[in-house]
Amino acid sequence: MLNDSYLTKWNKQKNKLIKNHIYNELDEHSSCGVGLIASSKGINSREVVNMAIEALKCLYHRGAVDADGKTGDGAGIHLNIPKDFFIEQIGRTGHKPNNYPFAVGMIFLPRTNFAAQERSRSIVESEVLKEGLTIYGWRHVPVNTKVIGKKAKLTRPEIEQILICNDIFEDKSVFDTKLYVIRKRIEKIVRKENINDFYICSLSSRSIIYKGMFLAEQLSNFYPDILDDRFISKFALYHQRYSTNTFPTWSLAQPFRTIAHNGEINTLKGNKNWMMAHEPRLNHINYGSSIKDLKPIIDPDASDSAALDSAIELLVHSNRSLPMAKIITIPEAWAHRRDFSKKLKDLYAYANAVMEPWDGPAAICGVHDEWAIAGMDRNGLRPLRYTLTEDYLITGSETGMVSIDESNIIEKGRVGPGQMIGINFREKKFYNDQEIKSTLSSSRPFGDWTKKIIHIDKLVQSVDEEFRDIDSNNLRKRMASFAWTIEDIELILHPMIVEQKEATGSMGDDTPLAVLSDNYRGLHHFFRQNFSQVTNPPIDSLRERVVMSLRTKIGNLSNILDEDQYQCEHLQLSSPVLSINQFKTMRQYMKDAVKIIDTTIDLYIGNLSFKEKIDEINKEAEEAVRSGFVHIILTDKELSERRMAIPMILATSSVHNYLIKKQLRTYVSLNIQSAECLDIHYYAVLLGVGATSINAYVAQQAIADRHKKGLFNNLTYEQCVERYIETVKNGLLKIMSKMGISVISSYRGGNNFEAIGLSRSLMTDYFPLMSSKISGMGLIGLEKRSLEAHHRAFDNDLTTLQIGGFYSFRKGEEKHSFDATAIHILQNAVESDSYSSYKKYTGLIYENQPINIRDLLDCKSSRQSITNDKVENINEIRRRLIAPGISLGALSPEAHETLSIAMNRIGSKSDSGEGGENPDRFIPKLNGDNSSSAIKQIASGRFGVTAEYLNNCEEIEIKIAQGAKPGEGGQLPGNKVTSLIAKLRHSSKGITLISPPPHHDIYSIEDLAQLIYDLKQINPKAKICVKLVAQSGIGTVAAGVAKAKADIILISGHNGGTGASPQSSIKYAGLPWEMGLSEVHQVLSLNNLRDKIILRTDGGLKTGRDIIIAALLGAEEYGIGTTSLIAMGCLLVRQCHSNTCPVGICSQDEKLRKKYTGTPEKVINLFTFIAEEVREILASLGFSSLKDIVGRTDLLYQSNRGSSDLDDLDLNP
């Protein structure tokens, strides 16, 4: 029953999840429908309001409905204040309306806490009266609670309006700016006093916002005010919300004070951080000393839409027009547009100099002062249609939302990527995109201002000669001190130059997490790349390159509220990735304005710790800024036997955040000269934690050394360096695109990573904007490991680097889950149908050092053990075991068919993977075998997807992301695209096939709901599964997927297999399924959605114990992929992508396919063995069924705390 005790219980459970780092409210996402209706003649009318109410009702399908059928995710409307209506309300307060302008505040107050409610009114009144304004009184807003759901009623605030007389300020804009300051002061006090459920929807002399947690069609029923004929307006901004958070939050309903937003800001963390950095320099005549009252500009807990609204609100109250504010915050893709005029490019170059863009899907409608606008993000990733009549501009997420006489239509269309349209009420004129931008570009001499930008790239004439005669022995020691290996040189660096692309790998990652490894690999290995899934799309960095940019400005960042030439006085690079010569050239142009800070420690003097050295670096950086330096270079060039380098990622993040804390960050650029930096992921982490530019000088020395040895064929040294830099740039664009981020300035400082296994104290002190849900390595442990690596490199006569074994198994090097012995024993077990051999295999696995999170866990029960015969039979357990998606193309036809036959024989399911399936397999064989995959996958490329394909299955899986490469599309090398594969995928033989990173019909959560609906129309009998990849915040994404009416959610781990994927994705993207599964299970349970969904997981599952751990964490079904292939004969040589699989499993080569020896019986034996082991463990725990332990985390305990180097490897089980 829903009541106050239920709410108390819900909040208690939510706070518990937050405390245990499982849930974060900032991870909540939303998508929506949005629209604007504006009078092109600037006339207030009832018709505008009526049309908006009608249009909002047409957006019902873009919102979600709770199980009670009445609670929505939020809807609202923004209108002009109807003067006559509120004059009457003022009269009812006992005051005589006069000719003074007035303002209305629409306020949510705590409803059940009367002390907090009264205190809130007191705060509001006090701050209003401080400005000498008169308060007419408060008005209880009439509401009809019968039309809202139980959850909405439970959380409903007290809704009141404060009526304020303006008998001081003659200018309406001055009055509204003063109200803006008053509101910010009120919010600050309320936040300081921890008053919950208080929110100011609007406080303005011009407009008012009515919103709440109801269905879009109930807006006017809930608020009878809106039905009053005196409610007239010249504009109406309306919004319907679809949230992944299922418990109502009244304050997050839109519109906000300036805009209504449909989309998701992917750069939110970076934008918030940079706005905090900009705050010390904010200054404007409109505020004077009151500027301090506006800070923080963005509420730390604000959603992405609310944060964007706050940024735009600041700009428009600082005399920027609303169109200019849109240009600055959400600019068009302009850097590579040859069709743009110079004046337009100058406008965008200026806007780029002012502030970092807010990047991500965004269809916005906004109103301020004389403007009402509708605009789109640079990629056009949300729908926004418009119709223009003689009297009205009508825009919205759909077309046809308002009934219009076709004869009155002047123009209709869509707002394209980066475009903007609007009505200027003062001029009573409609402006199209070209007219708005032409007006803006002519408003200031932007061309003259941007001439002050110095383009460094144009000043570099040739490649530097400094390191041509490098000492190979010294170079080797430097590389070894950072744990570089032969693999790093041969498998990562070499392909970047020879092939001019990132190295490709296959079969996933079965090495230990960095925190569990005996080998120190470098700090960057602890960071996992974030990515977009469902609620916003990744970008295609190959096909959508025109919207992406690495353009980097270097220097002193000015006051963002200024509008003058001085904002353009900076250096500019086409990319933050610099060669040695480019770095030297940049250094020359910095002249005396640069401070070089050494990040190495002298080992011969005293006992200086990492902490002491970092503190020293931070203070040196602070002193440099206060002394007038505008550039800082952090360098480890002094690295030697005597001097050890601090990890550059640590130093960079520390300085960046320290300067923000000291309110100095915008005064300097932070440039990095690093010996440790080599691969693309390292560059990305450096930029993510705040680096402005990067020179990986030892990587370039390594290139010079290898070139001297003739290892790059006919390439010149200059070409080698250029290829390396170009590959890094392409890789950075790809990593940015995973998050849906287009421009490097929005990515920089965004901390778009999740740490695994770094202590919480280390994260709090040096990476405050990044989370590490699993603690582990602290600063002391990091120092110890770094010192050991340094001594190994310099204290011995080092003749060669370590091999590594990180990318491929090498005896005596990095540990792997599967080594040759384990593979041999398992294959012998399935071939001989020997359970005792299988037990030898599991014994070997369990004796290994911990590799995965689950290896640190064990289970225990207070129940008495039972005999195996009392546990459910093998068949019941096998039905829960799935052969996950592996495409026909990645696999040979024979191997793909083997999996399907095996799964169908035991009543389980195999997944076709993307790429289709031969229709001949839809017909059972003469011997009764069925080779049709029970699960048919639909992926972004739609390869092989037909109505026939979708109708021959029990389940349809929508692959949003893949564990080995989340944020990227699948790829099949051209040498594997045979005539059969090409036919099934409707392509051409020999052509490399790469699926786009996003589904181009899923740009938001409501788009996914639409696809699920469509697929159920195609095959009503099939269940719909949505495949996600584990990441921080996946719980709220899964909640949205559940609300979209999926039947099954698959949580894939980062170590899942793949036929082909970039190595940086295999090794550095996504999280372990244990983390994702636990979060999803608990968040779905929190929101009463768990019983509506079957949870499935996969990613490196290989034993019955793995199944038990997965069940205890919440999974009901389990995918076993790589281990299935090993059972069929796979030797894990990791050549899947090269079409040279020696056993014919992952090859389309007919000669190699003849070597295939896999059979359905081998696969069945594997699944039988795993099921039998599950039965044994269940019996030992005293449970008779696998379903009885699903979600029983109370049976788990942490049995291993990792190595002694760690602070505390705490899993919070």
pLDDT-derived band at 62 (thresholds 50, 70, 90) equals low
Q: Which of 232, 360, 343, 345 is nearest to 303 (CA)?
A: 360
| Residue 403: band (very low, low, confident or very high) from pLDDT cuts 50, 70, 90 | confident
End-to-end C-alpha distance for the chain, whole angstroms? 29
Nearest to 1117 by CA among 1186, 1181, 1058, 1184: 1186
What are the phi and psi torsion angles at 1139 (to 5°)?
Answer: 65, 25
State mean pLDDT over 1108-1130. Answer: 96
- Given a cut of 80, whether residue 470 has pLDDT beyond it is no
- Residue 375: DSSP 8-state: E
CB 777 within 8 A of CB 642: no
CA neighbours within 13 Å on the CB side: how many for 1157?
12
pLDDT at 41: 93
The per-residue pLDDT for range 852-873, each reduced to its tens digit, is 999 999 999 999 999 999 999 9
Least confident of 367-381, 1144-1158, 1199-1213: 1199-1213
Which of 36-45, 837-846, 1016-1025, 1191-1200 is the least confident region?
1191-1200
Domains and CATH numbers, the chain: 4-450 (3.60.20.10), 459-500+534-794 (3.20.20.70), 822-1198 (3.20.20.70)
Rounded Cα–Cα distance for residues 195 and 122 (Å): 12
- The answer to whether the beta carbons of residues 227 and 64 sit under 8 Å apart is no
| Contact call for residues 274 and 356 (beta carbons, < 8 A) | yes
Nearest-5° Cα angle at 310, 306 to 314: 170
3-state secondary structure 623-683: HHHHCCCCEEEEECCCCCCCEEECCHHHHHHHHHHHHHHCCCHHHCEEEEECCCCCCHHHH
- Confidence at residue 246, expressed as pLDDT on a 0 to 100 scale: 45
pLDDT tier at 6, thresholds 50, 70, 90: low
Q: What is the DSSP string of 399-460?
A: SS-S---GGGEEEEEE--TT-EEEEETTTTEEE-HHHHHHHHHTSS-HHHHHTT-EEGGGG-
- The predicted model gives 453-472 an average pLDDT of 68
Instruction: Name the least confident of 3-7, 204-208, 230-234, 645-649.
Output: 3-7
| Confidence label for 399 from pLDDT (cuts 50, 70 and 90) | confident
The band of 98, judged by pLDDT with boundaries at 50, 70 and 90, is: confident
- The answer to whether residue 1195 scores a pLDDT higher than 50 is yes
User: Residue 349 has what pLDDT?
Assistant: 93
As a whole number, the mean pLDDT across the chain is: 91
Residue 982 predicted with pLDDT over 90: yes
Q: 882 pLDDT exceeds 90? A: yes
CA distance 487 to 494: 10
State the pLDDT confidence band at 128, using cuts at 50, 70 and 90: very high
Averaged pLDDT for residues 164-183: 90
Residue range 265-274: average pLDDT? 91
Query: Does residue 1104 contact residue 1186 with C-beta atoms inside 8 Å?
Result: no
Residue from 1095, 1114, 1064, 539 nearest 753 by CA: 1064
pLDDT digits (tens, 9 = 90+) for 586-605: 988 888 999 999 999 999 88
The three-point CA angle 1011-1013-1019 to 5° equals 100
Q: Give which of 199, 363, 357 is closest to 268, Cα–Cα.
A: 357
Please tell me what DSSP assigns to residue 869. Answer: G
Measure the CA–CA gap between 1166 and 768, rounded to whole angstroms.
46
The stretch 421-434 carries a mean pLDDT of 96
Q: State residue 243's pLDDT score.
A: 63
* Neighbour order of strands in the sheet with 199-204: 134-140, 158-165, 102-109, 199-204
Taking 60 as the threshold, does the pLDDT of residue 3 lie above it?
Answer: no
> What digits encode the pLDDT tens for the residues 1036-1052?
899 889 989 999 999 99
CA angle 540, 546, 548 (to 5 degrees): 70
**Residue 465 predicted with pLDDT over 60:** no
Q: What is the pLDDT of residue 998?
A: 87
Task: Give the side-chain half-sphere CA count within 13 A for 876.
Answer: 9
pTM greater than 0.85: yes
* pLDDT, mean of residues 361-372: 94
Q: Answer whether 1175's CB lies under 8 Å from 871's CB.
A: yes
Q: Which of 32, 58, 165, 677 is catalytic?
A: 32
H runs (alpha helix) in 716-795: 717-738, 744-747, 760-766, 779-794
Q: What are phi and psi of 836, to 5 degrees?
A: -65, -35
pLDDT value at position 1208? 75
**Annotation marks residue 32 as catalytic:** yes
Top pLDDT among 808 and 1012 is at: 1012
**pLDDT value of position 952:** 96
How many DSSP H helices and E strands does the chain contain? 39, 41
Q: Which residue has the higher pLDDT, 534 or 1171?
A: 1171
**Does 1110 score more than 50 pLDDT?**
yes
| Contact between residue 260 and residue 364 where contact means Cβ atoms under 8 Å apart | yes
Residue 515 has pLDDT above 50, yes or no: yes
Strand 693-695 to 669-673 pairing: parallel
Query: Model confidence at 1213, in pLDDT bands (50, 70, 90)?
Result: very low
Least confident of 38-52, 200-214, 433-447, 792-806: 792-806
Given this model, what pLDDT does residue 1154 score? 94
Query: E-assigned strands of 100-188?
Result: 102-109, 134-140, 158-165
pLDDT of residue 4: 57
Residue 758 has pLDDT above 70, yes or no: yes
Q: Side-chain half-sphere of 479: how many Cα atoms within 13 Å?
A: 29
